Amino acid sequence: MSEWRRVFLSKKRLGIALLLLVFCVGLYVYSLTDTRNPSPYSLKSTIASSRAAAELAEKLEGLPIEEISERIDEYLGRIRDYELWYIYSDDPATYAAVGNSEIVTAEDAEALIRDIPYLYAAKDNRDMFLQGYIAFSRAVGGLKDQTEYLMGYRDYLEGIQAQAKQQSQVGIFSSGSGFSQKNLTKTAKDFEGLADVEVAFGSNAGVESWLSFDFNDYAYLIAIIVTVLAFLEERKKGLWSAIRSCRGGRLPLGLSRLGILAAAAVGFALLIYGSTFVAALGLNGGWGGLNRPLQSLESFRTCAVRTTILGWLIRYFALKAASGMLIGLLLWCLLGSVANIQFSLSVLLGILAGEYILYEFLPVQSVFNVLKYFNLFSYVHTSGLYTDYLNVNLFGFPVGIRRLMLITLPIAGAILLVRALMIQTKRYPEGNKDILSKLSAVINRFFDIFRSRLTIGGWEAYKTLILEFGVVIMAVILVLSRSIYCLYNLTEQDYWYQEYLEELEGPIDESTYDYLARARENIRGSMNEFQLESSLDRLEAEVEKRVRAAEKGGFEPWLVDEKVYESCYGPTAKNAQYRSAALALLFVAFCAAGISAYEQQSGVTLLVRSLKRGRRRLFAAKAVCAAAMAVFVWAAVYIKEFLDFLKFQTPDTFGAPVQNIDALVGFPLKISFGEYLIILYSLRLLMLIFASFAVLLISRHCATLQSAYIVCVTLLAAPALLSVLGVDALKYISPMVPVSSAGQLWAIGSGSLSSVIPWVVWSAIGMTALIAAGVGWGKTGALKNRAGD
Amino acid sequence: MKLELKDLTKRYGDLTALDSFTLTFEPGIYGILGANGAGKSTMMNLITDNLKRDGGEILFDGRDILEMGDEFRAVLGYMPQQQGIYERMTAESFVSYIGRLKGLKGKELRRQVDDVLKLTNLDNVRHKAVGQFSGGMKQRALLAQALLGDPKVLILDEPTAGLDPRERIRIREFISELAKDRIVLLATHIVTDIESVADKVILMKKGKLIKSDTPENLIASLPEDWQPVAHYPSLEDVYMFFLGD
């Protein structure tokens, strides 16, 4: 039992398990929010909308699917009509162009949503209502998609049979000996058994969103890896020989560890997948529909297994635990065979990277595609075995990848189990061939040629990027930042107005008026004359407004698409901008936390401080490194954002004075939009550099890299991230507001000079942090007072 | 060349770790002996300016080392007691990096790195990560870095801990060769290491200087009725007599 206690009750592993659980549930909940516009109402409205949609689904259950589809259409139409009235009722011209003419009074409009309590209650708060509308439309839209899928499922099954029949009559396939024909025949046979399955309408959002939440799989893999690494701990601590020499240090210990691995595989599967499953169904609804056929979920369209959703869930959890056991045994065997424990992490990363590359990037058509599917990650993403129907070519015969993996699982499991026990009992701690050490010495010999020529700055960069795994962190940041959608773009409802505006964007001069006059001529007698005229009226009014404002303010009048700037950098985008800033802070904390803490962790602080250039010069290199990391994060997050912005707005209007936007008419500097954007992005860069200095100061007081990451993330990024998730009180605890900068710069345009305060405060904190960190590094007697000898 | 400690005092709360300690070092090897808590490491941390003093002065050729700052550190070589080391660097990388921080560069850096790695018998494992080294090998890597830059003041805190007898003798002989025109402060628990190489032995107890003299004079100062630990009186007897309680 002591081995069980050591593995399961270690503070480190308990902490990791708790963190994984928190991350899984937290990220799942975050995945429900509107990632394009993460407003404080986003989560609340998503949950409320999902529940409302689940209630609607329950009401509609049992009706013919065509009727359900019509009822949902009517529902969607009603809320769309209300939304248009809600937004444009103050602007009769636009409402006339885009709204429903039958909805005239507020009573008419409110009657449309009276049976949707959440939306009805939110109508007095514009932000909350709009967020609720988006979430509700999406949730009900999901029901609509489901009806279309259900109506087409029978055709899909018939299509498979028809295709197989048809291909068998085509010359090149008809011989029946080719793989393609065998594959089609097998597919048709597999799906034949589903012919009488009655797929049914219900609330699928919970299970579907749970299925699409991939992070569970990675968290489970991490949990299994952590368990296996616990088996190698004695080697790392130099206790392997001592433990092997104990009475119970061989087979009994090996058997104990098998039990531990099995318990971990089952326990973590229930903990990680179970907790998110409960969260998914708790937040989205859908508990009642688990007895429907599995194919009622669109994700299982291509699944040929005949069972219910509940039946599949039981199979899935069992398969998950078995897969976890297999992965654990495989890693235990591989890492246990490494002679030098120092290389275990590199070997582990190498195996995972190799398998992932094959799984993710090997083309389906490749002759080696067996390696793509017969892969460690197929056991990691187990649901794919059910949701993706696939036969691989095994010696000319189509074999279902799911069947292949299921047959392999016990066989490979048994072989690996025996091998793991042999490693535990037979392998000697000393005298093993250490090929990796020899290989690493050869590689190091080559790299030492370059390393011995590095300057102090070069060494600091090397330590940050290589020894502190900065390169890995940066790669993760690049991957993550690619998936962040930074801007919130509002589309203009009046299509014709938008078209004319795009044509006319630029300085307002004679050609503008000529264009408008010509446009009026052209629309005469056209089919959409009324709508086009209304759009042109709006545009002309806009031109006049710009000209008057320019005369008053003394700047050149331009016609620009105000909405694009406003929705990307103005108040509409506030939440998206805060989210980007919070993520940038998180990235800076991870990138720069190791720079100061690495010396502490290595225990070399006293040594380097006794060297001629180990104080000011070394600290200067560290500060430059931290700033460089901030520049990297800035580029990863904000250059991406700027490129996203260019998708909405070409640089043609960058020359226009910023005062041409209503909200910026009071901007104190006579600058163009291009210059405005340069100021905005420069401010962000500067604020992120100050954040990196704060990280430098904080991490100097941390004894290990892990504690530095935890403390820096907790102090700098966590309040910002929580604020984005809706805890508004934490907004000013972190530097999220000055890093975001967009809202403040925009507010200056309307005369709010107090908006500069966050920049001033954060700049002062950043510079103080830099000085304090520098003084702390170089000052006399950096050792804490403690009795020595 | 002179390193003077004048009335050097360091307190940790109520505990006085170094009590008005006064001593002058001139070129030669100084073996520092004292039980745990005697103040040896405190003294070394004060000389390397890793600890703030509460009183007194440390003068190098008449100038306070705090005023000298980098100038003093340029003549200092320090091997700390703890085996703190960049575990993921190779021996060559580690020594090269420290050489850089000592202000060495180019061919001179590479020459010195080669020399110290050969001297400490690490040349054949120079491309191995230091984390894979045994305790004794790490000790040698730390000694190697201390020797870089031809330091005038060399502070070695337990330099032979963890080394096998052959390595200890090798390092000891090497240290005795170093003493020319150099101040070497050698703190150790292994009395025999000091006996054979130290020009002078400093006996410390509870932060105070008990005695400072050549090993021969210290042995001669033992009372006649003292019963030697082995057959003849040695430095171990001096330790037992002056610091033994």
Question: B85 lies in a domain?
Answer: no
Closest residue in B to A599 (Cα) is B86
Last residue of a domain, one of B124, B151, B178: B151
Gap between the Cα atoms of A485 and A643, Å rounded: 11
Distance from CA of B85 to the nearest CA of A (A): 6
Angle at A46 between CA A45 and CA A50, to 5 degrees: 115
Residues A36-67 pLDDT 10s: 655 666 677 788 888 888 888 888 988 999 99
Q: What residues of A are in contact with residue B161 (Cβ under 8 Å)?
A: none
Gap between the Cα atoms of A183 and A164, Å rounded: 9
Q: What residues of B are in contact with residue A448 (Cβ under 8 Å)?
A: 90, 92-93, 96, 126-127
Gap between the Cα atoms of A257 and A265, Å rounded: 12
Query: Residue A497's pLDDT is what?
Result: 83
Question: B83 lies in a domain?
Answer: no
Query: Residue A651's pLDDT is what?
Result: 85
Query: pLDDT band at residue B152, thresholds of 50, 70 and 90?
Result: very high
Question: What are the Cα distances from residue A41, in Å, to A48, A125, A569?
Answer: 10, 10, 20
Q: What are the tokens at A333?
A: 């065997």
Query: Residue A788's pLDDT is what?
Result: 45
- A780, pLDDT greater than 70: no
Put simply, the answer to whether B93 touches A448 (Cβ < 8 Å) is yes
Q: Which comes out higher in pLDDT, residue A150 or A88?
A: A150
Strands B153-157 and B76-79: parallel
Gap between the Cα atoms of A136 and A142, Å rounded: 10
Q: What residues of B are in contact with residue A614 (Cβ under 8 Å)?
A: 73, 101
Percent of chain A scored above 90 by pLDDT?
A: 42
**Same structural domain for residues B105 and B216?**
no
Closest residue in B to A610 (Cα) is B48
Query: Residue A38's pLDDT is what?
Result: 57
Distance from CA of B215 to the nearest CA of A (A): 22
**Same structural domain for residues B114 and B227?**
no
- The number of residues making up chain B comes to 245
**Same structural domain for residues B94 and B119?**
yes
Per-state percent for chain B, helix, strand, coil, to nearest 5: 40, 25, 35
The pTM of this model reads 0.79
Distance from CA of A334 to the nearest CA of B (A): 20
Residue-number span of the structural domain to which B138 is assigned: 90-151
Closest residue in B to A339 (Cα) is B132
Strands B3-12 and B55-60: antiparallel
**Same structural domain for residues B26 and B129?**
no
Question: B81 lies in a domain?
Answer: no
Query: Residue A782's pLDDT is what?
Result: 54
Is B56 touching A (CB cutoff 8 A)?
A: no
Query: Residue A590's pLDDT is what?
Result: 93
Nearest residue, CB atoms, B100 vs list A456, A603, A786? A456
Query: Residue A789's pLDDT is what?
Result: 46
Last residue of a domain, one of B151, B168, B193: B151
Q: What residues of A are in contact with residue B110 (Cβ under 8 Å)?
A: 452
Cβ within 8 Å of A, B 76-135 = 76, 78, 80, 82-90, 92-93, 96-98, 100-103, 105, 109-110, 113, 126-129, 131-132
Put simply, the answer to whether A617 touches B97 (Cβ < 8 Å) is no
User: Do A535 and A500 form a contact (C-beta atoms < 8 A)?
Assistant: yes
Distance from CA of B32 to the nearest CA of A (A): 12
Residues A111-161 pLDDT 10s: 888 888 888 888 888 878 887 888 888 889 999 999 999 999 999 999 999
ipTM score:
0.89
Question: B139 lies in a domain?
Answer: yes
**Same structural domain for residues B172 and B129?**
no
Nearest residue, CB atoms, B127 vs list A445, A456, A783? A445
Put simply, the answer to whether B86 touches A459 (Cβ < 8 Å) is no
DSSP A637-692: IIIHHHHHHHHH--GGGGGSBGGGSGGGTT-SS--BHHHHHHHHHHHHHHHHHHHH
Question: B97 lies in a domain?
Answer: yes
Gap between the Cα atoms of A586 and A577, Å rounded: 14
Nearest residue, CB atoms, A610 vs list B73, B88, B113? B73
User: Which of these ranges, A170-174, A203-207, A597-601, A619-623, has the smallest mean pLDDT?
Assistant: A170-174
**Same structural domain for residues B225 and B169?**
yes
Residues A2-18 pLDDT 10s: 889 999 998 889 989 99
Q: What residues of B are in contact with residue A619 (Cβ under 8 Å)?
A: none
Q: Which of B226, B218, B163 is nearest to B189 (CA)?
A: B163
Q: What residues of B are in contact with residue A452 (Cβ under 8 Å)?
A: 92-93, 96, 109-110, 113
Q: What are the tokens at A607?
A: 């040594």
Name residues whose C-beta falls within 8 Å of residue A445's C-beta, 6 or more positions apart in sequence: B127
Nearest residue, CB atoms, A787 vs list B17, B40, B83? B17
Last residue of a domain, one of B109, B133, B151: B151
User: Which of these ranges, A436-440, B8-12, B21-25, B120-124, has the smallest mean pLDDT?
Assistant: A436-440
Query: Residue B177's pLDDT is what?
Result: 81
Only one residue has tokens 């029978």, namely A154
- A490, pLDDT greater than 70: no
Q: What residues of A are in contact with residue B41 (Cβ under 8 Å)?
A: 788-789
Put simply, the answer to whether B101 touches A613 (Cβ < 8 Å) is yes
Closest residue in B to A615 (Cα) is B70
Q: What residues of B are in contact with residue A342 (Cβ under 8 Å)?
A: 129, 131-132
Query: Residue A754's pLDDT is what?
Result: 83
DSSP A308-354: BHHHHHHHHHHHHHHHHHHHHHHHHHHHHT-SSGGGHHHHHHHHHHH
**Same structural domain for residues B63 and B174?**
yes
Angle at A354 between CA A348 and CA A356, to 5 degrees: 100
**Same structural domain for residues B156 and B220?**
yes
Distance from CA of B120 to the nearest CA of A (A): 18
Query: Residue A417's pLDDT is what?
Result: 94
**Same structural domain for residues B139 and B183?**
no
Put simply, the answer to whether B101 touches A618 (Cβ < 8 Å) is yes
Question: B64 lies in a domain?
Answer: yes
Query: Residue A587's pLDDT is what?
Result: 95
Q: Which of A43, A211, A4 is nearest to A579 (CA)?
A: A43
Query: pLDDT band at residue A175, thresholds of 50, 70 and 90?
Result: low
- A757, pLDDT greater than 80: yes
**Same structural domain for residues B67 and B105?**
no
Query: Residue A481's pLDDT is what?
Result: 83
Closest residue in B to A613 (Cα) is B101
Cβ within 8 Å of A, B 179-218 = none
**Same structural domain for residues B100 and B137?**
yes
Residues A310-325 pLDDT 10s: 999 999 999 999 999 9
Q: What residues of B are in contact with residue A787 (Cβ under 8 Å)?
A: 12, 15, 17, 37
CATH number for the domain including B209? 3.40.50.300
Query: Residue A594's pLDDT is what?
Result: 93
Question: What are the Cα distances from residue A771, in Å, to A245, A552, A586, A696, A766?
Answer: 55, 47, 23, 10, 9
Question: B80 lies in a domain?
Answer: no
**Total domains, chain B:** 2
**Mean predicted confidence (pLDDT) in A644-671:** 87
Residue of A349, A452, A784 to mutate, testing the B interface (most B Cβ within 10 Å of its Cβ): A452
Only one residue has tokens 């690493």, namely A440
Residue of A456, A460, A469, A789 to mutate, testing the B interface (most B Cβ within 10 Å of its Cβ): A789
**Same structural domain for residues B112 and B173?**
no
Gap between the Cα atoms of B184 and B200, Å rounded: 10
Put simply, the answer to whether B102 touches A441 (Cβ < 8 Å) is no
User: Do A680 and A751 form a contact (C-beta atoms < 8 A)?
Assistant: no
Distance from CA of A433 to the nearest CA of B (A): 15
